[in-house]
Amino acid sequence: MTSQPESNDGGMIRTTFSTVTEVLENGVLLVRLSGEIDIATTEFAAEAIRAAIAPPTRLVLIDVSAVTFCSSAGLGNLVEARTLAGRHGIDLALVGVGRPVDRPLAVTGLGGQFRIFSSAEEALRER
């Protein structure tokens, strides 16, 4: 959990975010993001994604099914992930894309730039 001072009454705004990376099989990582991806949490998301996108990994799945809000900073994380994966020759896909992520992807036209699957299991079957 992170907090940032920006409320109108001088208090702290709490932003909940977490990330867990798991090995699904040799060379395949799943990065689960949950909570709000905004300016307060974007660096945490970026660190988790950057750590996963490195050889000898062959496939990185970014699970956004538990993301409740995705700002432009969060979209920036996904674009950076796509660029970094391409640089390393690593396949990248998004899984569990719900409205909080789908809407900004659609509005910006970025949705067509990612392979998107409903689940990690579907992504593994389709590779």
pLDDT given at position 9: 57
pLDDT given at position 28: 98
Sequential DSSP letters for 19-81: EEEEEEETTEEEEEEEEEESTTTHHHHHHHHHHHSSTT--EEEEEEEEEEEE-HHHHHHHHHH
Spans of the chain, pLDDT less than 50: 1-7
Percent of the chain whose pLDDT exceeds 70 = 89
pLDDT given at position 1: 41
Amino acid at 44: F
pLDDT given at position 35: 97
Q: Which domains does the chain have, with CATH numbers?
A: 18-126 (3.30.750.24)
Q: What pTM value is reported for the model?
A: 0.88
pLDDT given at position 12: 61
